[in-house]
A and B are shown apart, each in its own frame.
Chain A
Amino acid sequence: MTEPTIFELSSPGRQGVRFPASDVPEVELPAAFRRKELPLPELAEIDVVRHFTRISQKNYAIDLGFYPLGSCTMKYNPKINEVTSRLPGFALTHPLQPEDTVQGNLYLMYTLQEWLKEIVGFAGVTLQPAAGAHGELTGVLIIQKYHADRGDTQRTRILIPDSAHGTNPATSAMSGFEVVHLPSDARGNVDLEALKGLCDENLAGLMLTNPNTLGLFDENVTQVIELVHAAGGLVYGDGANLNALLGIVRPGDLGFDIMHLNLHKTFSTPHGGGGPGSGPVAVCQRLVEYLPDPVVAIVEPGGEELPPLYGYAHPTKSIGRVKSFNGHFGILVRAYTYIAMHGRDGLSNIAKKSVLNANYLLAKVKDTYHLPYDRRCMHEFVVEGQWADAPGIRALDIAKRLIDYNFHPPTNYFPLIVHEALMIEPTETESIETLDAFADAMLKIAVEARENPELLHEAPHNSPVGRCDEVRAAKQLILRAPKA
């Protein structure tokens, strides 16, 4: 059943709150600031509560079921994160408070910077960026300033593998670089021959996601980095898939110069509508002075009994501030909690279990769904959602039918180099029973595709709304309810 909008539920004159009589003199609002119409809904409090509770119950969330959205790392978000981030000492502080009154907050951010540096093997970290793509923008601006400071101004191109997230080329283009696509080879790695042909004096850098969006560890990664460095370029690591490497491989040790981390993926902070995100950026030693201003630092070393004094340091060649205040501080508290709770061994266990879960699921479905790059996967894998003997069935139909089995669909139609792609990332937090249930649904849908294709074409059947007309939705943008 469709829930009416809050405006449709409105009844003229009904009130949720009655204000007491004003005890200050009334002031007439200047006419220029007065609106002729103020179309606010009028409802009793209970009707507002019911309306929003009903809507929330139509939602699908990680707290309700399996969410194998590839490249998004929709792992369980531990509830203790919500406890620590609501501690009054964190929740009630103001970013403009004097630094000596928020030493705990600064300690937490400093320690988180140190931990993230150690986890990815870099020399410096900024916690400012508000999301992954914002981290990418920060990183690409650092690449730009690094070359500009050296007078190396002819470096105008950034290489992007064809398996990359769309945010990589978007970020590069937005920063004024020319985007050059880099093909993959037959094993899903960066094509080294193509790369060699593109490594010249115009190369500013390469943006590389490893493991890539096929869920494959790039077997050429060290050669790729050497080639780019030899040509004078910098290598940016997109940390979208860091979950597979935690405690096992440090991108800094591989030679990456910059990378962003998605706290909302790898470090269990809320994700997708529930955010906000957080995309800290880590850099190697030669880029530390380019980080956004300020970074949290120890400004006075402590003594035996005295803790150090935390404050802000100002990188000398900084690209400037990229976010107000300290980024999304409440999210930083959650990521700190997660890392503290797991420790070194716990983090590497996350990577191992996420890879094990993905390979387990892959083994269960790969005889039924075509695997275009037949290799052992990392934390996710990509199969084709189409069969020669099921004409008319596409990845979208399979994704929609999974909703009827109470699963969130996997990422579909990405990466673009796989036809009818279904990109599946189970994460480490799922049990074997959940993985089995999902694999069973995938196998049943493959049978339905042959025996009863209409069931797929018309799916989902059990959701509050059925199949939406995506073309019409894209063409006729109606973003708000018509006035009653």
Chain B
Amino acid sequence: MNFPKELKFAQTDEWVRLENGIATVGISDYAQDALGDVVYFEFSVEVGDKVKAGGQLGQVDSAKASSEVMLPVSGVVTEINEAVSDDAEILNKDPYGEGWLLRIKMDDPAELEELLSAEAYQAYRLG
């Protein structure tokens, strides 16, 4: 299972990559593995929305469960990966790449410090 060092993670299994104040968000490799075959993904937010960390990002349905995906950071949604709505299986195939979910212009990049490092997240999930 893959826990890329350059990413930050939320305890609710989302990852964040910060570049120039813009955070790219997705679900972790651990999350996609635990979900099993993903069937649908539905976004709860739109481009332009002002969002807060801890709110709902979307809903992911797999063959075994329906789960909420949470927003790990606060800010304004600048981009949404529509490809996920069309073909949610890419969340299984490439959770850190093609399966990214959305981009957020962060209000305060310092918020990132509240998230877990890859090592801490790996220890939290796999003990």
Contacts and interface: CB of A to CB of B under 8 A. Distances in A.
Interface stretch (A7-15, A28-36, A271-279, A468-476): A468-476
A172 interface: no
B91 to A, nearest CB: 12
Contacts of A394: 36
B37 A416 contact: no
Contacts of B39: 471, 474-475
Contacts of A413: 64-65
A396 B37 CA distance: 12
Q: How large is the interface on A (under 10, 10 to 19, 20 to 34, 35 or more residues)?
A: 10 to 19
B64 A412 contact: yes
A419 interface: yes
A310 to B, nearest CB: 45
Contacts of A166: 66
B65 A470 contact: no
Nearest to B64: A413
Contacts of B63: 470-471, 474
Interface in B1-44: 34, 36-37, 39-40
A394 B37 CA distance: 12
A416 B61 CA distance: 13
A470 B61 CA distance: 12
A416 B36 contact: no
Contacts of A414: 65
Interface in B53-76: 61, 63-67
A419 B31 CA distance: 11
Contacts of B36: 394, 396
Contacts of A470: 37, 63
Interface string A163-189: 000100000000000000000000000
A384 to B, nearest CB: 12
B96 to A, nearest CB: 21
A84 B65 CA distance: 40
B64 A471 contact: no
What 4 pairs between A and B have smallest CB-CB spacing? A413-B64, A470-B63, A471-B37, A474-B39
Given A396-B64, A416-B65, A474-B63, 6 more contacts: A166-B66, A414-B65, A419-B34, A470-B37, A471-B63, A471-B89
7 contacts: A166-B66, A394-B36, A416-B67, A471-B63, A474-B40, A474-B61, A475-B40
